[in-house]
Amino acid sequence: MMKSKKIKCPYCHANASLRPASVVYGHNRRSQGKFLYLCDRWPACDAYVSAHDRTHLPMGVLANGDLRHKRILAHQALRQLQQSRNMEKWEVYIWLQAKLGLNEHQAHIGQFSDWMCDEVICLCKQASGPPADMKAAA
Ligand SMILES: [Zn+2]
């Protein structure tokens, strides 16, 4: 029997339920075997978050379309920083934890608000900007 965690939609405060991902994505590769927590008012309320494959625990807080997009951008910013600095993925997260004053359990983009995602994007831009010696030469 699948365990379902009781969580609420942060937008409309309805309950969110564990549903097959095909409800949102249709029956395709992306949804195959996947689950997500979907606001009970969906599709009137466009909030959901993916569930982990094995545990079916939510990967974060439910997000609407704007926030889902912001989280994608924050992930991209981190990946770009990782590549430009030749870092490992875990090194980028250690750096992020230090910058934001969060511990490893808190520093998940899936948990981040719109504002926090903006912070991540801004920090990554600063960190992957031109090196200091180039500025001195200008
Ligand atoms: Zn909702």
Q: What is the whole-number distance in angstroms between the Cα of residue 33 and the centre of ligand 1? A: 24
pLDDT of 59 > 90? The answer is no
> Tokens 């379309």 correspond to what residue?
65
Q: What is the whole-number distance in angstroms between the Cα of residue 64 and the centre of ligand 1? A: 8
Q: What is the whole-number distance in angstroms between the Cα of residue 22 and the centre of ligand 1? A: 18
Reported as a pLDDT band with limits 50, 70 and 90, residue 17 is very high
pLDDT of 135 > 60? The answer is no
Q: What is the whole-number distance in angstroms between the Cα of residue 38 and the centre of ligand 1? A: 8
Q: What is the whole-number distance in angstroms between the Cα of residue 37 and the centre of ligand 1? A: 11
Element (H, E) at 72: helix 65-84
Q: What is the whole-number distance in angstroms between the Cα of residue 116 and the centre of ligand 1? A: 21
Cβ contacts of 95 within 8 Å, gap of 6 or more: 87, 127
Report the Cα–Cα distance between both ends of the chain, in Å, rounded: 64
Q: Which two tokens stand for residue 83?
A: 């590549």
How many Cα atoms occupy the beta-carbon half-sphere of 13 within 13 Å? 0
pLDDT tens by residue, 84-122: 999 999 999 999 999 999 998 889 898 899 999 999 999
Q: What is the whole-number distance in angstroms between the Cα of residue 138 and the centre of ligand 1? A: 51
Q: Which amino acid is at 123?
A: L
Report pLDDT for 111.
85
CB burial of residue 21 (10 Å; 0-12, 13-18, 19+): buried
The structural domains of the chain, with segments of one domain joined by +, span 7-50, 65-130
Q: Are 50 and 33 in contact (CB under 8 A)?
A: no
